Amino acid sequence: VLVQPFLIHYDVRTALFGVYQAPLRLVAVVSALLAMRAARRLGVPALLNLACVVILIGYLGLGGVATLAAFSFFVLPSIAQGLTRPTIDTYLNHRIPSGQRATVLSAMQLCFALQVALFEPALGWLTDGLSLSAAFFFAALYFVLLMPPLLLLWRRARGESVALSAPAAAAP
């Protein structure tokens, strides 16, 4: 959401937007191709925890480094998205009976759409009303407040303790 405002802020010509954004998409694709290997090696819980930390570092870096070179921090959320989406989808596909799978996946998309309906306009308002850095720091705060409770609920639903599971014991 903030890639284009970032590029505009640093006076990057519109014609170059694709040049800047294409590597982010490529990184997400490569990460998705490596997702199952990473999930098997780290374990799903550790991979999801790591993705949260990586996203947080990315948004803190984008908010805290005031140069065009900070664009490189956009790579971190791209990696996290590439790793987590296939991992979560595979996890759910293996555990949800086929008769309920469409309902669960639809409910997930609805929840995602609802939070985006609030989150993205807030980012736009902060970018226009305060600063681009304020929007990135808000995004970092949003993830700090949202992700740990969601991960805790997910782990409790799996019947896990709060401590990280050993990678060998976790299933993708």
pLDDT (tens digit per residue) in 2-21: 999 999 999 999 999 999 99
Is residue 10 classed as helix, strand or coil in its secondary structure? coil
For 89-102, the pLDDT digits (tens) are 888 888 888 888 88
Contacts for 94-98 with beta carbons within 8 Å, 24 or more apart?
94/171, 94/172
The pLDDT of 24-34, averaged and rounded, is: 97
Integer CA distances (angstroms), 34 to 77, 83, 148, in order: 15, 7, 24
Q: In angstroms, how far is CA 82 from the centroid of its own chain?
A: 8
Tallying the residues shown for the chain, one arrives at 172
Q: What is the pTM of this model?
A: 0.83
Convert the pLDDT of each residue in 71-121 to its tens digit: 999 999 999 999 999 998 888 888 888 888 888 888 888 988 998 899 999
Q: Look-up: residue for tokens 């308002």? A: 125
Q: Using CB atoms within 10 Å of the CB of residue 63, give its burial: 0 to 12 exposed, 13 to 18 middle, 19+ buried.
A: buried
156 falls in which pLDDT band (50, 70, 90)? confident
